[in-house]
């Protein structure tokens, strides 16, 4: 195999990939007649910038490399505020002015819609945050095999960088996290090794309601807090309850599964209750460790308000909330329609939705634990055709079969809440043959300093007045 020595290049960033990193191309002299094209992924760069990079020795057709120098900077480049930015894999756009980030997100939504032959003029400017810091109400930190607590290193899922701070999480969340990190060091507790599947501590989940102030700490470990671990668990409980009265749920969660996920085979309650209360738009929700709830409550409230504004629910109407989760959208809409049916495949979320509806005094709701396509069929049979349908699918989208089933059901109005513009654009294309027209799309920034953007969109059946 032909090999080449390390080479240094000055190259121009052409565009960004789906993870927010810059992309460029260089041509390598490999000692043959023609140079070889090498595609570069260069994190922490911006479109149009000229950067200096050194490409290593092995011959490849594509590779990832960090910039050595920004030769010509983008006019919107700024200094990152977080001391961990250059190494941490969490926030990839702290080097980009916030307005620049918002513009890029708007342009991305327009681009994916144009690719599906929709009118990009229907896309409004992305709604940003007044203060794009300290916005997350949930964080998941990981223990390294030597027991350090932190986040994954940029581009290296196997390596954990220990943290001094995190500027997208609430201050109290970070303080509680640092206390757990100190506790783990004091007791010399091992972290979980993903290669050997040995070690004790795996993850720490931290959740805090911005409305109630309540905090949940969930410690994921490979063993239960019994035997030799009992004294360490007792010390953790005393530390947290004495220093953080706002912690209303302290959990030790046993997870022996090889999959690197925050799941649990056993739940041990160390202090408080096994859930915390959160609120949005005056509605109260119970949040368990595995409950999906929007991680940016400030912007999530805007999502709900936009959905209500676009959907125009009426008290004489029936409504279906597809992928309803614990009822984030269901409860506000149920207060304005005659009947609401929520469909969600996760049974624990449906149980939470039922409980949340009861806690908020709503008696006109029906929640079904079933996959979306079969759930629609069952609800339509007993419920009839709804005037309004809302869907908030996962990042993978609803899929063609579900969208076509929605189209055949012929609701008058459809509100689509999306966390992935790419799958959203493909999904709504499926509705065109059924007579639906895209009316407007409003992007909302729920994840500042990342490439992610959410959208709320309105579609109507043609010849239907709204």
Name the nearest CA neighbour of 205 among 135, 283, 278, 149: 149
Per-position b or e across 67-106, b if 16+ CB within 10 A of its CB: beebeeebebbeebebebbeebbbbbbbbbebebbbbbbb
Number of Cβ atoms within 10 Å of the Cβ of 180 = 21
- Is there a contact between 2 and 12 (Cβ–Cβ < 8 Å)? no
Task: Supply the pLDDT for residue 4.
Answer: 57
Name the nearest CA neighbour of 147 among 203, 95, 96, 103: 203
Task: Supply the pLDDT for residue 313.
Answer: 98
Beta-carbon contacts of residue 293 (< 8 Å; ≥ 6 apart): 137, 138, 278, 285, 287, 325, 326, 328
Burial of 216 (0-12, 13-18, 19+ CB in 10 A): buried
Q: Which two tokens stand for residue 338?
A: 């005659």
Task: Supply the pLDDT for residue 465.
Answer: 56
Spatial distance between the Cα atoms of 271 and 251, rounded to a whole number of angstroms: 7
Please report the domains of the chain, with CATH numbers, ordered by start residue: 7-72 (2.40.50.140), 103-130+292-461 (3.40.50.150), 138-280 (2.40.50.1070)
Task: Supply the pLDDT for residue 194.
Answer: 86
Q: What angle do CA 91, 49, 69 make, to 5 degrees?
A: 75
Place of tokens 């189209």: 407
Crossing angle for the helix pair 372-383 and 400-409, to the nearest 10 degrees: 10
Spatial distance between the Cα atoms of 34 and 452, rounded to a whole number of angstroms: 39
Spatial distance between the Cα atoms of 169 and 297, rounded to a whole number of angstroms: 12
Task: Supply the pLDDT for residue 57.
Answer: 67
Crossing angle for the helix pair 230-243 and 171-186, to the nearest 10 degrees: 150
Q: Which of 91, 166, 419, 455 is catalytic?
A: 419
Q: Which two tokens stand for residue 98?
A: 């916030």
Task: Supply the pLDDT for residue 225.
Answer: 96
Q: In this structure, are strands 201-208 and 156-162 parallel, antiparallel, or unpaired?
A: unpaired
The residues that bridge with 367 in the sheet, in sequence order, are 342
Beta-carbon contacts of residue 8 (< 8 Å; ≥ 6 apart): 52, 53, 54, 55, 68
Task: Supply the pLDDT for residue 464.
Answer: 62
Q: Which two tokens stand for residue 253?
A: 């969660």
Place of tokens 């708007």: 106
Q: What angle do CA 51, 57, 60 make, to 5 degrees?
A: 80
Task: Supply the pLDDT for residue 436.
Answer: 98
Task: Supply the pLDDT for residue 84.
Answer: 93
Answer yes or no: 419 catalytic: yes
Instruction: Using alpha carbons, list the distances in angstroms from residue 465 to 271, 310, 409, 458.
Output: 54, 13, 18, 13
Place of tokens 């229907």: 122
pLDDT tens per residue, the chain (466 residues)?
Answer: 455 578 899 999 999 999 999 999 999 877 677 788 999 999 999 999 999 999 986 667 889 999 999 999 999 999 999 999 999 988 999 999 999 999 999 999 999 999 999 999 999 999 999 999 999 999 999 999 999 999 988 878 778 888 889 999 999 999 999 999 999 999 999 999 988 989 999 999 999 999 999 999 999 999 999 999 999 999 999 999 999 999 999 999 999 887 777 888 899 999 999 999 999 999 999 999 998 889 999 999 999 999 999 999 999 999 999 999 999 999 999 999 999 999 999 998 999 999 999 999 999 999 999 999 999 999 999 999 999 999 999 999 999 999 999 999 999 999 999 999 999 999 999 999 999 999 999 999 999 999 999 999 999 999 765 4
- 365-369 β-sheet, strand order: 365-369, 339-344, 318-322, 388-391, 413-418, 454-461, 436-444
């Amino acid at each position: 195999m032909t090999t080449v020595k390390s080479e240094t290049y000055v190259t121009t960033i052409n565009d960004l990939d789906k993870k927010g990193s810059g992309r460029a191309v260089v041509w390598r002299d490999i000692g043959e007649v023609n140079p070889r094209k090498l595609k570069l992924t260069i994190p922490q760069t911006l479109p149009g910038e000229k950067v200096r990079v050194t490409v290593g020795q092995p011959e490849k057709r594509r590779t990832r490399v960090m910039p050595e120098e920004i030769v010509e900077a983008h006019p919107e480049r700024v200094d990152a505020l977080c001391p961990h930015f250059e190494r941490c894999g969490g926030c990839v756009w702290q080097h980009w002015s916030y307005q620049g980030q918002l513009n890029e997100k708007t342009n991305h939504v327009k681009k994916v819609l144009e690719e599906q032959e929709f009118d990009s003029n229907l896309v409004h400017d992305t709604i940003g945050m007044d203060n794009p810091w300290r916005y997350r109400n949930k964080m998941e930190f990981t223990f390294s095999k030597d027991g350090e607590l932190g986040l994954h290193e940029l581009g290296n899922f196997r390596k954990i960088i220990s943290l001094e701070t995190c500027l997208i999480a609430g201050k109290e969340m970070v303080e509680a996290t640092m206390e757990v990190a100190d506790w783990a060091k004091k007791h010399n507790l091992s972290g979980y090794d993903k290669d050997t599947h040995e070690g004790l501590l795996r993850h720490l989940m931290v959740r805090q309601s911005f409305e109630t102030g309540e905090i949940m700490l969930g410690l994921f470990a490979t063993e239960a807090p019994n035997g030799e671990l009992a004294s360490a668990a007792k010390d953790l409980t005393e530390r947290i309850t004495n220093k953080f009265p706002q912690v209303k749920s302290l959990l030790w969660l046993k997870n022996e599964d090889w999959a690197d996920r925050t799941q649990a085979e056993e739940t041990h309650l160390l202090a408080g209750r096994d859930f915390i209360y959160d609120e949005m738009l005056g509605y109260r929700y119970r949040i368990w460790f595995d409950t999906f709830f929007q991680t940016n409550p400030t912007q999530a409230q805007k999502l709900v308000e936009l959905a209500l504004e676009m959907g125009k629910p009426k008290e004489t109407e029936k409504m279906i909330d597809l992928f309803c989760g614990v009822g984030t959208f269901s409860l506000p809409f149920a207060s304005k329609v005659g009947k609401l049916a929520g469909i969600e495949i996760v049974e624990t979320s449906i149980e939470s939705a039922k409980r949340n509806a009861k806690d908020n005094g709503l008696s006109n709701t029906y929640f079904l634990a079933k996959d979306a396509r079969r759930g629609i069929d069952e609800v339509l049979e007993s419920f009839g055709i709804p005037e309004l349908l809302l869907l908030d699918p996962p990042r993978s989208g609803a899929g063609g079969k579900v969208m076509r089933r929605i189209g055949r059901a012929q609701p008058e109005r459809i509100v689509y809440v999306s966390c992935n513009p790419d799958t959203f654009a493909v999904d709504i294309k499926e509705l065109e043959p059924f007579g639906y027209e895209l009316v407007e799309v409003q992007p909302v920034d729920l994840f500042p300093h990342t490439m992610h953007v959410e959208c709320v969109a309105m579609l109507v059946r043609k010849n239907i007045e709204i």
